[in-house]
Structure 1
Amino acid sequence: MPIPVRLEQVAASVHFSIEKNSFHKAVECLSKQGVTAGGNNGIIHIQTDPPAGRPPRVSLPLLELYEMHDKSPLDNSLNSTGVICNNVHLLLRHQESGSSTETQSGVPLEDSAQVLKTTNVLLEPGFNKIAFTAPAHEPGMYTLRQLCATMGSVQFVLPHIYPIVQYEVYSQEPQLKVEPLTDILLAGIAQKVKFTIITGHYAIKNGDVLQLSNIDAMPILYSPGSTATILSNTGEKVEESVLMIQSSEKVTSIMLPLTPAYHVIEFELEVICHILSTLSKPFDNERLTNGEVHWKTKDNQKPDSCQAAIAQKMSIDCPWSIYSTIIALTFYNPFKAAQSLLSAGKRKYIQVCLQNMSEVSFHLLDHNLTESLKCPNIELVSMNVKTRQHVYRKQSVFCLWEIKWTKELPSSLQCRFSVNFSPAISEEESTSFKPYAYEFQLENIVTLYNVKAEIYPVLGAEHCRTGSLCSLDVSITRLSDLTEADQDESLTESDGMCTTKLMYEGKGFD
């Protein structure tokens, strides 16, 4: 019956791969082999006597000297000499083949460049896992060549480890990442972003700070209880530390906790991007003569459901670099507004449509519409009953104001719509409200024509019936003088009468 076996030591020899094309590696190799100048015709002889206790080695190839540079400073300081040979690659190739031959002939593991060792290992029947601690003094590729298990005075040697087992050692540079915790960042709302610092080969010392440049449009919010979590390179939590944050007019300084190299620091801060007043875009040939918005049909309407993006950049100074790190965050406007001018006889109304473009529900408070130029004879009367409304995701809210004037109505109006909004945590609760503003201008608000339409039944009938031919009378009354553009479009003019083109569209109903 199989029983556990205790091994005194398990060792693995490690080979470090050098760069074959590196001149510095070749010089190191030459110095280790004991290069001596003394040959003729530029030939350098290499000592081939094996060290004590080693078997004789095959003679190494002769190096052919190509150039030699001698630098002798004038102040009689240390001289330096550089040697360049034509066939260094033969020496490197021979060294690799020689090391392979030596490994096959049973070179002791202690004579290898590096050895991984672990002691007092208990081998259980079946598969066993043995953990080695691998010291790495310089970056490169390390290959496990041999495996040796020692039990008393007996050694069990595996001359070749196959398949090939390698691990790469490199020096990792410190990194800083700032990313949102949600899919998108909404402007006007305080949201958390996650700071991740990968220390790499740099160890965070006492007094190391991150310095964040303050932006008026995107202030950084923090609380005294903000904490940072330190993780190992395997993701295990090491400790949690309270962050010390100091803020001035231009800079926010974050004191980093003491952290060893090759660890991760994570912490979260709140940021908010203020929403500036948005201006409506002018429409070319998209308005009717009385200033109303020309609503497009489904055939030529362009989809415009994308949210307006606001890009903010933040500069961060890190203790491990003399250069600043630029972090870009993109916020999206949660709302989209549009206006229209409505006319009913001599009465006029301004309608504002506020559309929630996000996946978040909001509370709306205090809808307000003001005339920016402060005309004394203009008054905007609110027709909105509710001062507080709840708008769900992807929902639109319409607000209406009546325009009243005492004297002549101006040709244009500059208006500003504003409302306070807050994310709806529940149906009743909400956080602090933030302002949203939308500015627009109405052109040609004077009513030019009054249109009246009436349908009459056939003679002798009281009502219009299905299948009978009824007459449609359309009366268009001009209420103001023609503009120059209207006069240019006139077809004929005689005795003060103008004939213009009348475009209409007829639709049939089943």
Structure 2
Amino acid sequence: AMASEEKPVVYTMENRPIVTCGGDQSLFSSIYQTLVQQLPKEAVEWRRSYGRPPKMINLEANFVAFKEDLLPKEGSKALLTFPFLHIFWTDCCESEVYKASTKEEITRWQSLLRAYNSPDWLVVLVENENRKKKQPIALPRTSIIDKIRNDFCNKQSDRCVVLTDPLRDSSKAQESWASFVAKLRTLLLMSFTRNLGRFEDDMRALREKRTHPSWSFCHYFMVQEELAFVFEMLKQYEDALVQYDELDALFTQYVVNFGAGDTADWLSSFRRPVSSWVGLALWRPIDMGKREAVQTGQASLLDLRSYLFSRQCTLLFFLQRPWEVAHRALELLHNSVLELRMLEIQMPVGAVDCWVYISCLEVLQRIETFCDTNQNDSFAAYAAGLRAYAREKLQGLGSLCGLMSPNGPDSEELNRTVDLLAGLRDDDEDSPSNINNPGKKLREALSSMEAYEKHYMELSEIAMGTYKHIGRIRSARLIGKDLAEYHMRKGEPQKAEAFLYDALKTYRDEGWTLPVTHTRKQIATCQKQLGNTTKYPRSRDLLASDLNLPVDERESYFKEILGSSGAEEHGGAGEILLPLEPVLQLSSVRFTPASALVNLNGTLVLQLVLVSRLPTSANSTAISIALAHEPRPGSTAATGAIGITPRYPDGRVVFPGNAATDLPVRRQLPALIDVCELREKGPQADAPLVSSGVVCRNSHMLLRRQDSNTSSGRGADVTREEASRSLRAAGVQLRPGKNTVTLSAVVTESGSFTLRQLCVQLGRVHLLSRRLYPPLQYDVYSQEPQLNLLPSHGAEPLLAGVPQELTVTVNTGCYPVRGGDALQLSLPAGLLILNSGKNTARISTDTGEELPDAVFTVSPSERIVSVNLPATPCYHTLRFSLRVACALPLAAAGGADGQDGAPADKVESRKAGGGAVIEADVLDQKISIDSPWSIYSTIVPLAFKVPFRTRHSLLTAGESLKMNRKFVQVCLSNMTEVAFVLRDHHLGDVTTPDGDDGCQSAQLKPVNPLSHNVVLGGQKMWFVWELLPTSPATPLRCHFSVGFWPEEGAPGSPSAGQHRYEFTLSDFKTLYVVLSEVRPPPGFDACRMGELCSLDVSITRLQRGGAATDEETPSSQLLYQVADNCSNWAVCGKSSGLVQPAPRPGTTHSLQLQLMPLFAGKLPLPDVRLARLLPSQDAPAPPSLHPDNGEASPDANTTVGTPFDTDSVRSRWSGGSAGSGGAALLGSSFPLVPRLQQFAAGQVYHASRAAQVLVLPAHDHSLLDVTAP
């Protein structure tokens, strides 16, 4: 049969928009199948009114034959039976036929449409090429399609289309089909938009009239549901769901207003008593029975809610959101129960529980059949709430009907069960899941106790498993607690105990103290019924210390612990080991001494603060702490000795408020919560912002599951620590509240002791703590005696030659010093211990407490000094002082500088030479100390600083050409920070017979007055003596001495000392005087930079050579050299040459050289150096070093090289002395050559050394160099 002959089916899921077909029905039948297939093939964009977003839809249509009965009547609100488009089909190709019949048919068809106000129509002309070829060629604008457009489509030319060869498979036919289908989709969408907009306006106007007394919610419900049906027909399920949500919200608002006192007349129809509570029926897409009841106003509140929710569920399943069904179902059930109370609807007791139970199972069953495995996890969170709600209602029904009683239901409970079963009429026989029908399950559960237990246990286990699967452990354990109570009613305590322990853990973790107490009592009841002698004492222990219980109950539990039951349970003898907490809590521990360091054989005191939660006072047999001993090799070292930093402040350790109590366990949150901004846009490139929010990146750290083993809810068995050592106190009475217990003992072992476990003994009951945390330790040390010898003035150095004070410190340790014990001090040579008048020693304890002074004695001898110590107890400190003096040895010369030939007011010096006795500024001494407590000697190094450093100089003075006055200058430097007073300075010649007896030598005349002088720290003092002319030319060995003492001391005090210094003077007679003068060029008054000047040098001989050289041989000559070390002068021509020495004293030899000043200003004169040139046959053996001068003698600078010439001699001289290298060459196989011999310091006097010459700048003033004086 054709589709046009089929009657449309209303209110089914297969409804489609109706399109009527008029005209040639046989023509339409031939293309019907193709049209039905082509229309929904492509999606088309539907732009709706009121600014709603466009949507892409695939259109389908129900093509029916045109009848006048299908046209909508005036005021009709039915959209499902509304024809949205009317099509007239014709294949007329001849003008005569068109005029005769076709035109009249189209006219009659349009007349009916206008009569019923149907503006959506379309005329389709089907052309056949074969028939068209047989017709004569028509003139332009005379074709059939043109005539139809002129007759019927004057202003709507798009309402007439041509479909060419629809049954042929050609490109032209396909193009024609595509154009026709596109036009059909466009017209359908235009009709949808127009008619739905008009319908929504009418519906909106109807809703605005809801305040009128005659307004009916049921009528409005049918109108808006009609719109929802249309959206569902167009597969716009989201829009259809919005319509039902609006109806839900509107009805809910009316119920809320009713609860607030604002009633509506139509709401009274929903307040009639409910006689059926069969629950939801989601397996029907449209429950026509309930819909008809709503339409006629006969529906109850549960009927309306059931029908409305079933329609929402159907649309949610189409939208692939089954988890939202579970979520909405839970809200619906809770709201419906609340609405029943607000509307005061009469129902039998337990009927609501039946309706909720059946509805929960129906929703779960429907979702499970719809979802796959992946989607099951997504709605598990909502499904868990539904299962728990159903279990709760089933539990209520069991209590109401007596199915949870061990004796079974009574007559009243049976009558109540019959009434409930009457409301569960069996109207679901046609359900596709009749075997697992929720109503059938409930009827079966209410029929017998066995069936009830089966369904209740099964539902409870599934609910617990679902909660555990989604991580809601607390909810699962609360269900377990209900199961425990059920098993207790059934007389099955062995099954209830495990569930109670899990619930107890949850209450403890979350800090619910009262539920913890109640659950503990239930656990104790289970254990007592089971006769568990291991766990029941632990439960009694906890209940006896539970402050939430009344005092009489706590006392009964405590008496039961101490009574005969404990002895019977344990065979009448033996120990009962129970946890210490929370009966007793260790609050703090205080060590005495506070450092937790105890010396061997000393006393350790521990003060324990115990908080008792017992209801009454209890006499403790003993309180002990087990100790763990750890021997340490370092316990005898200094690290465990006196003065170590205390391990515990004030010796007190406070324990945190305890994990064994019923306080909540705090969740360890991460230190940082990492959040980021989230923005979501539509799929288009320029789509607007859809949603925004904040996302936590480390939510897995915040929401992670806690370790189930962190709590001690089950009360793990306590064990006694194995320890051979303990601290113990007997006969202690423990009162409720804080108690202070003192434990003391004398330690006899060294090492480290750790406090492991506290045990409180109450008769046979031993309350044992867990291992104490944080770990507490105290150390027992056996310190060996220690001896230290240090300067009394701290970091300041010891001074040689001055008495110094040393402090001796003896830490006795474990060795008691007895009277008569002595220290034997072995002293090196030059170190003495001075015996002071009063020898007292200070004694102090290890805590710093001072004891009365004691007396010690010093018994000196030649090299070993004995110090008799006073009696000193163990672990005390003995301190006393000793005065020592280090002898200051003789200081020998280390060298001096000197030059001879100077004016009377000028002073020059040279190194006079000499060996060294003091080679360093510090004298190292070592004292060896033998003690009675050790077989080994203690070596104490001491460093004494030499206070003075001495140097001497040889000075020449006198009139020109008579440089015959010689002076000796001695410089004394104070090398310390101490000021010294100097007196009785003396310089003598030890070569004379009276030089050793301390008398002043006749050859040396002092210049300084013999007075007291103070030399400050780091300062110098000079002393001068004149060598008398009668002094022989032979070397003089001089001895310098001076007395000194610290400025703070007295001259006659033991701190006074004497400093001695020796040196030797040789070749100190002046032989030559060199006088230099620079003259400007002729015609100039002064020298000018860059101009040649004359240097006049005169060498005058004063006397013949001394003992070292004797008289010059006739072949010896003088070598002179002019050098300028400051580079102020340029010597033009030869700068050196030979001069034959004058045969007689007073003879002068003159020289003239050319110089050029390089700078302007006052320039010092260049140096003129003299040396002897000895021939090879007269050369003596290489001279040795003068030990007293400390450097090579003048002969040591002799140079040996190639055969003599002036340039080679100049190069050798300017290159410095050859030193020992020259002596080595003299002994080699090279031929002998003339050699140079330097004059000794004081033999040549440079009279012009300090003179300066004024040099003017050059005439070119562009560059000016000036040397300042």
User: Kindly, what percent of the aligned residue pairs are identical?
Assistant: 34
How does 1:453-492 map onto structure 2 within 5 Å? Answer: 453=1076, 473-479=1096-1102, 480-481=1104-1105, 490=1119
Change in CA separation of 1:204 and 1:122 when aligned onto 2, cut-off 3 Å? farther
Which secondary structure does the structure 2 equivalent of 1:267 belong to? strand
Tell me the distance in 2 between the aligned counterparts of 1:488 and 1:153.
Answer: 124
Tell me the distance in 2 between the aligned counterparts of 1:122 and 1:409.
Answer: 108
Higher alpha-carbon Rg:
2
Check conservation: 1:371, 1:413, Cα contact below 8 A.
yes
Q: State whether structure 2 residue 1093 is matched by structure 1 residue 437.
A: no
Match of residue 161, structure 1, among 739, 751, 772: 772
Write out per-residue CA displacement over residues 101-124 of structure 1, whole angstroms, 9 at most, x where no aligned residue: xx983438xx8322235798999x
Q: Could you say which residue in structure 2 is the equivalent of 1:293?
A: 910
TM-score (norm 1): 0.66
Match of residue 446, structure 1, among 1062, 1069, 1073: 1069
Check conservation: 1:148, 1:158, Cα contact below 8 A.
yes
More displaced, 330-339 or 452-461?
A: 452-461
Q: State whether structure 2 residue 872 is matched by structure 1 residue 259.
A: yes
More displaced, 489-498 or 369-378?
A: 489-498
More displaced, 265-274 or 157-166?
A: 157-166
Q: State whether structure 2 residue 1035 is matched by structure 1 residue 424.
A: no
Check conservation: 1:366, 1:419, Cα contact below 8 A.
yes
Deviation at 1:278, TM superposition (A): 0.9
Check conservation: 1:104, 1:159, Cα contact below 8 A.
no
How does 1:202-221 map onto structure 2 within 5 Å? Answer: 202-221=815-834
Check conservation: 2:826, 2:864, Cα contact below 8 A.
yes
Q: Could you say which residue in structure 1 is the equivalent of 2:966?
A: 348
Which secondary structure does the structure 2 equivalent of 1:219 belong to? strand
Check conservation: 1:425, 1:431, Cα contact below 8 A.
no
Tell me the distance in 2 between the aligned counterparts of 1:113 and 1:484.
Answer: 98
Match of residue 145, structure 1, among 742, 748, 756: 756
Match of residue 850, structure 2, among 237, 262, 274: 237
What amino acid maps onto 1:366 in structure 2? Answer: D
Check conservation: 2:1045, 2:1051, Cα contact below 8 A.
no
Deviation at 1:234, TM superposition (A): 2.8
Tell me the distance in 1 between the aligned counterparts of 2:855 and 2:1080.
Answer: 85
What amino acid maps onto 1:509 in structure 2? Answer: A
What amino acid maps onto 1:180 in structure 2? Answer: P
Tell me the distance in 1 between the aligned counterparts of 2:1005 and 2:1015.
Answer: 23
Change in CA separation of 1:129 and 1:281 when aligned onto 2, cut-off 3 Å? farther
Tell me the distance in 2 between the aligned counterparts of 1:409 and 1:378.
Answer: 15
Tell me the distance in 2 between the aligned counterparts of 1:122 and 1:420.
Answer: 82
Q: Could you say which residue in structure 2 is the equivalent of 1:357?
A: 975
How does 1:50-65 map onto structure 2 within 5 Å? Answer: none
Tell me the distance in 1 between the aligned counterparts of 2:921 and 2:1105.
Answer: 41
For structure 2, the 5+ residue unaligned runs are 1-608, 613-619, 633-715, 902-907, 913-918, 958-962, 995-1000, 1120-1135, 1143-1148, 1150-1169, 1172-1209, 1215-1248, 1253-1266
Q: Could you say which residue in structure 1 is the equivalent of 2:1036?
A: 413
Deviation at 1:272, TM superposition (A): 1.0
Check conservation: 1:414, 1:440, Cα contact below 8 A.
yes
Change in CA separation of 1:505 and 1:372 when aligned onto 2, cut-off 3 Å? same
Deviation at 1:204, TM superposition (A): 1.0
Tell me the distance in 2 between the aligned counterparts of 1:216 and 1:447.
Answer: 45
What amino acid maps onto 2:910 in structure 1? Answer: V
Change in CA separation of 1:269 and 1:341 when aligned onto 2, cut-off 3 Å? same
Change in CA separation of 1:495 and 1:181 when aligned onto 2, cut-off 3 Å? closer
Tell me the distance in 1 between the aligned counterparts of 2:1053 and 2:1089.
Answer: 59
Tell me the distance in 1 between the aligned counterparts of 2:993 and 2:900.
Answer: 22
Q: State whether structure 2 residue 1156 is matched by structure 1 residue 397.
A: no
Tell me the distance in 2 between the aligned counterparts of 1:434 and 1:307.
Answer: 19
More displaced, 358-367 or 5-14?
A: 5-14
Deviation at 1:371, TM superposition (A): 1.0
Q: State whether structure 2 residue 982 is matched by structure 1 residue 369.
A: no
How does 1:9-88 map onto structure 2 within 5 Å? Answer: 11-17=624-630
How does 1:181-196 map onto structure 2 within 5 Å? Answer: 181-182=792-793, 183-196=796-809
Q: Could you say which residue in structure 2 is the equivalent of 1:337?
A: 950
Write out per-residue CA displacement over residues 42-78 of structure 1, whole angstroms, 9 at most, x where no aligned residue: xxxxxxxxxxxxxxxxxxxxxxxxxxxxxxxxxxxxx
What amino acid maps onto 1:348 in structure 2? Answer: K
Change in CA separation of 1:465 and 1:309 when aligned onto 2, cut-off 3 Å? same
Change in CA separation of 1:135 and 1:362 when aligned onto 2, cut-off 3 Å? same
How does 1:165-176 map onto structure 2 within 5 Å? Answer: 165-176=776-787
Tell me the distance in 1 between the aligned counterparts of 2:1049 and 2:852.
Answer: 35
More displaced, 222-231 or 112-121?
A: 112-121
Match of residue 723, structure 2, among 112, 115, 119: 112
Check conservation: 1:307, 1:357, Cα contact below 8 A.
no
Change in CA separation of 1:156 and 1:257 when aligned onto 2, cut-off 3 Å? farther
Deviation at 1:294, TM superposition (A): 6.1
Deviation at 1:418, TM superposition (A): 0.6
Tell me the distance in 2 between the aligned counterparts of 1:465 and 1:493.
Answer: 28
Check conservation: 1:351, 1:398, Cα contact below 8 A.
yes
Tell me the distance in 2 between the aligned counterparts of 1:364 and 1:488.
Answer: 49
What amino acid maps onto 1:397 in structure 2? Answer: M
Deviation at 1:312, TM superposition (A): 1.4
Tell me the distance in 1 between the aligned counterparts of 2:717 and 2:983.
Answer: 84
What amino acid maps onto 2:1074 in structure 1? Answer: V
What amino acid maps onto 1:12 in structure 2? Answer: I
Q: Could you say which residue in structure 1 is the equivalent of 2:1006?
A: 382
Tell me the distance in 2 between the aligned counterparts of 1:488 and 1:324.
Answer: 69
Q: State whether structure 2 residue 941 is matched by structure 1 residue 328.
A: yes
Change in CA separation of 1:375 and 1:225 when aligned onto 2, cut-off 3 Å? closer
Deviation at 1:328, TM superposition (A): 1.7
Write out per-residue CA displacement over residues 398-447 of structure 1, whole angstroms, 9 at most, x where no aligned residue: 1100011426422x221111101010118999875211111122343232
How does 1:85-96 map onto structure 2 within 5 Å? Answer: none
Tell me the distance in 2 between the aligned counterparts of 1:173 and 1:488.
Answer: 81
Whichever structure has more strand as a proportion of its residues is 1
Change in CA separation of 1:419 and 1:117 when aligned onto 2, cut-off 3 Å? farther
Tell me the distance in 2 between the aligned counterparts of 1:193 and 1:129.
Answer: 50
Tell me the distance in 2 between the aligned counterparts of 1:131 and 1:449.
Answer: 102
Check conservation: 2:1118, 2:1141, Cα contact below 8 A.
no
Q: Could you say which residue in structure 2 is the equivalent of 1:38?
A: none
Check conservation: 1:336, 1:355, Cα contact below 8 A.
yes
Which secondary structure does the structure 2 equivalent of 1:238 belong to? strand
Write out per-residue CA displacement over residues 350-407 of structure 1, whole angstroms, 9 at most, x where no aligned residue: 0010011101111111111111111799611000025210111111001100011426
Which secondary structure does the structure 1 equivalent of 2:629 belong to? strand
Count of residues in correspondence between the two structures: 407
Q: Could you say which residue in structure 2 is the equivalent of 1:509?
A: 1268
Change in CA separation of 1:131 and 1:316 when aligned onto 2, cut-off 3 Å? farther
Check conservation: 1:381, 1:403, Cα contact below 8 A.
yes
What amino acid maps onto 1:369 in structure 2? Answer: L
Change in CA separation of 1:383 and 1:434 when aligned onto 2, cut-off 3 Å? same
Change in CA separation of 1:370 and 1:192 when aligned onto 2, cut-off 3 Å? same
Change in CA separation of 1:388 and 1:352 when aligned onto 2, cut-off 3 Å? same
Match of residue 278, structure 1, among 878, 881, 891: 891
Deviation at 1:247, TM superposition (A): 2.4
Tell me the distance in 2 between the aligned counterparts of 1:104 and 1:18.
Answer: 31
TM-score (norm 2): 0.29
Deviation at 1:338, TM superposition (A): 0.5
For structure 1, the 5+ residue unaligned runs are 20-102, 296-305
Whichever structure has more helix as a proportion of its residues is 2
Please provide the CA RMSD for this pair: 4.6
